[in-house]
Amino acid sequence: MRRKPMISPSSPTGAAITMSTLADKMGRGIQLTNAEQNIVMVNSAQIFASSFGPLPSDMRLTAMQLPENVKGVLASFSM
């Protein structure tokens, strides 16, 4: 079961404090700089990845298997 993204974490980390500060800045109507936008993008990606995507340790490389309909098309060309 996947967790929902945390909007306001109970134990603030450096990233959470930074996100909170930048959210307050945006809430006051101040435009974020390019560097701040990049920070927000990276931190948001980490939050979404931990909530919705597999972790790198969960990913395994396996041999690709062709779908049955593709195998059928290949078989029709072999005749």
| Average pLDDT of the residues in 40-69 | 74
The model's confidence at residue 5, banded by pLDDT at 50, 70 and 90, is low
Average pLDDT over residues 35-61: 76
Which pLDDT band holds residue 4 (cuts at 50, 70, 90)? low
Q: How far apart are the first and last CA of the chain?
A: 47
pLDDT at 9: 47
For the residues 51-76, what does the mean pLDDT come to?
Answer: 74
Is the pTM of the predicted complex or chain greater than 0.85? Answer: no
CA distance 23 to 3: 22
Which has more confidence, 59 or 33? 33
